[in-house]
Amino acid sequence: MKVMAVGVFDLLHAGHLHYLEQAKSLGNHLTVVVAHDDTVRIRKHEPVTNHDLRRRMVEGLKPVDEAIVGNSPEVSIFEILPIVNPDVIALGYDQEHAEDSIKQKLIQLGYENIKVTRVEGLTDDLDGTRKIIARILQLSQKQN
């Protein structure tokens, strides 16, 4: 079974690895779609590292079989489905995507056989990029 995971993966951390390990456990081939820089800018923040570097870093992780850069924000994520051809889409615990709306859109597009599942989060207090940045800022303020 082919699994597709999506994310920004800016400043790789244990939460990312946990997500990708769980995604890989859902099948035997994991393709990760790394968000395009322009998408990150619109939806989250200015990326710390560019999408090509983030793709290279993700592709180097043991659970990952293949990593590709996603479409620019003008193009729907659903347009990447014929390229990846997943059986399962694994969503991270903190991703804001609504599973039901994704399932409905998949059915509309003729992909009713693709399963959508949300994986569990890591129970670490530094399981997100923003949490790590906040902790670094907190530590640097204490030193100054």
Side-by-side strand order, sheet with 66-69? 66-69, 29-34, 2-7, 88-91, 115-118
pLDDT at 22: 95
Cα 80 to Cα 83: distance, rounded to the nearest angstrom: 5
Domain residues for the domain of 107 are: 2-143
Q: pTM of the predicted model, to two decimals?
A: 0.85
Per-residue CA distances from 80 to 53, 131, 137 (Å): 20, 30, 37
Number of domains in the chain: 1
pLDDT at 109: 94
The pLDDT-based confidence of 128 (bands split at 50, 70, 90) is low
DSSP H or E stretch at residue 141: helix 129-143
Q: Is the per-residue pLDDT at 9 higher than 80?
A: yes
pLDDT in tens, 45-82: 889 999 999 999 999 999 999 999 999 888 888 999 99
CATH number of the domain residue 137 falls in: 3.40.50.620
Q: Is the per-residue pLDDT at 138 higher than 70?
A: yes
